[in-house]
Structure 1
Amino acid sequence: MSVLLTVRRVVTAVALTATGLTGIAFAASPATAACSDVQVVFARGSTEAPGLGILGRPLVSAVQQQLPGLTVDSYAVDYAANVSQTSAGPGATDMSDHITEVAARCPDTEFVIGGYSQGASVTDIAIGIRTTLGRGGTIPENLAPRIKAVTVFGNPLRLSRQTINSASQLYGRKAIDICATGDPVCGNGANAAAHLRYAFDGSVTRAAQFAANLVRTT
């Protein structure tokens, strides 16, 4: 079975799951005029409706809970998240452009960035990692100190035997790259359901704790 066919089957399951999770909001979080202490910038998975998606929304809430006393807002990367997996490059450009704009307007704002599935590839490209899913804009290196943490789930980069930790000298130590056992999108497994577990298996809490610790200590 080709990787693309596997991805298509999995993202169809993601879409069905997202449709069933009506209790989770999918509306995009607009960039606000006010400057926050921390902004979570997240790219949803393939076929999810525009917004933060099934992992971005709980991640933002968990980071907020982990950082009492700090203001935390969010931005949902604006990209097609199409099933053909061709929109990661444009998504990376939107992510990098947004961070560049906010960083210039809000000199004290720090960032937690990340994504799920194709959204993880968006993140890979935005931090300068070459992938098989195209090219796009990258975050200027002078802003790297303000990117406090990188949080990705179900990252297709792993199919090429890499993680953000191994592929990026600039961001590797700041990254948590989570892949469930059996996930075909990141682990070359055969269990499509594994790609849908991240919102329920403690991965979001783990990622939020990791990110919050870096915000507090770096």
Structure 2
Amino acid sequence: MVLRRVLGSLGAAMALPAALVSCVAAAPPVAAQPCPDIEVIFARGTGAEPGLGFVGDAFVDALRSKVGGRSVGAYAVNYPAGWNFDSSAPAGAADATGRVQWMADNCPNTKLVLGGMSQGAGVIDLITVDARPLGRFTPNPLPPRLADHVAAVAVFGNPLRDVPGGGPLPALSGTFGSRTIDMCALDDIFCTKGLSLGAHFSYVENGMVNQAADFVAGRV
């Protein structure tokens, strides 16, 4: 029940005004490096140390192994990934949007991939789900100018699946639906009605990270 209430808090976070999501300035470049052929913009899960998180690291490694000689950069969404979802998730959405904008302006030929794990999947939901009421969610999707730079979306343990009116991300995004894979492990407590916390951390071992990388490689 506690975990269900936590999940409900994430839904409340996504209901915040769009202005809060868009108030953060565009993300600056991580380093002055040549533009990669592909960049993965990934939001880690709740409580993970700053970086891509273990699922994000595995996903980027798997994708690199599937795209031949093309270069794959990675950007870790800069956000708290904390338990105060009311501030954490919108901050992540703002930073992810800023990074997409920066890449579109400075590396227009780079194919972008959006990804997230757990709360990080919720961050990606905020900028990809259609702009219409969805339970307590108020998405603020990327504008067309930026969305055109996103080749694929991959999320894991997505809490949007287990909220009223929710479901798999591809079904809730007219813009990104065909470009999106939404992985949910059997009995994952955060994306199903199941009760397995272990399933929520199984995406590398159960093959779903590799499956998602295959999907994305086919679209970049």
**Residue 158 (structure 2) pairs with residue 158 (structure 1):** no
Which residue of 2 is the match for residue 124 of structure 1? Answer: 125
CA deviation profile, 1:23-64 (whole Å, cap 9, x unmatched):
xxxxxx935532011000000000000000010111111111
Which residue of 1 is the match for residue 101 of structure 2? Answer: 100
Overall identity of the aligned pairs, in %: 37
Give the gaps of 5 or more residues in structure 2: 10-28
CA distance in 2 between counterparts of 1:96 and 1:171 reads 15
- RCO comparison, higher one (Cα < 8 Å, 6+): 2
CA distance in 2 between counterparts of 1:71 and 1:146 reads 16
Q: In the TM superposition, what are the counterparts of 1:26-65 in structure 2 within 5 Å?
A: 30-65=30-65
The verdict on how the C-alpha distance between 1:4 and 1:51 changes in structure 2, with shifts beyond 3 A counting, is same
CA distance in 2 between counterparts of 1:58 and 1:131 reads 31
Which residue of 1 is the match for residue 201 of structure 2? Answer: 196
Residue identity matched to 2:76: A
The verdict on how the C-alpha distance between 1:165 and 1:138 changes in structure 2, with shifts beyond 3 A counting, is closer
- The Cα RMSD (Å) is 2.2
Q: Secondary structure at the match of 2:122?
A: helix
Which residue of 2 is the match for residue 83 of structure 1? Answer: 83
CA distance in 2 between counterparts of 1:148 and 1:186 reads 24
The verdict on how the C-alpha distance between 1:169 and 1:40 changes in structure 2, with shifts beyond 3 A counting, is same
Bigger helix share? 1
The verdict on how the C-alpha distance between 1:53 and 1:132 changes in structure 2, with shifts beyond 3 A counting, is farther
**Residue 218 (structure 2) pairs with residue 213 (structure 1):** yes
Give the gaps of 5 or more residues in structure 1: 9-28
Equivalent pairs, count: 195
TM-score, normalised via structure 1 length:
0.82
CA deviation profile, 1:139-198 (whole Å, cap 9, x unmatched):
222222321110000000001241111110000111110111111100021111110101
Q: In the TM superposition, what are the counterparts of 1:164-203 in structure 2 within 5 Å?
A: 164-203=169-208
Which residue of 2 is the match for residue 19 of structure 1? Answer: none
Alignment check: 8 A CA contact 2:129 2:169 kept = no
Q: Secondary structure at the match of 1:50?
A: coil
Residue identity matched to 1:73: G
Q: CA deviation at 1:6?
A: 6.8
The verdict on how the C-alpha distance between 1:171 and 1:119 changes in structure 2, with shifts beyond 3 A counting, is same
Which residue of 2 is the match for residue 146 of structure 1? Answer: 149
